[in-house]
Amino acid sequence: MDPKADLSFVNPAGLRTPRGYSQMAVIRSGRLVFFAGQTPVGTSGEVVGPGDFRAQLEQVFSNLDIGIRSVGGTFSNIIKLNYYCAESVDPALLRHVNEVRDRFTNTTSPPISTFVFVSRLARPEWLIEIEAVGVLPE
């Protein structure tokens, strides 16, 4: 079954068509999967890539991928990403977000997303945290 058969991503007329994400997701049926904020922490609890924004992005996206696969889905079942980025991250490094994200997501019908800067995350060595919502077929 097509994992997106009961889901469509929409960029309605009158709203800008963004690069790398969609404006809306319409869910007609399916099972919702809510992810807690995924952080740059490996399986043994170690912080991956201290001070390395790209390495931390890689770990967070890998954690999301592991999570959705554990319930029988793929990254294409993730419909929403909420990014929380420490304000200490150099804005020049934000290009890595697109590079890493685009390796995991369907760039033709990308998930909806929100990206915010925060003064810091729960652990000061974390530079990025991402929470997600997925939809699996019934």
Half-sphere exposure of residue 54: CA atoms within 13 angstroms, side-chain side: 7
pTM value?
A: 0.90
12-57 pLDDT tens trace: 999 989 888 999 999 999 999 999 999 999 999 999 999 999 999 9
| Domain spans, the chain | 7-136
On whether the CB atoms of residues 74 and 3 are closer than 8 A, the answer is yes
Q: Let me know: does 104 contact 73? Beta carbons within 8 Å.
A: no
User: Which CATH code is given to the segment(s) 7-136?
Assistant: 3.30.1330.40
Distance in angstroms (rounded) separating the CA atoms of residues 131 and 39: 9
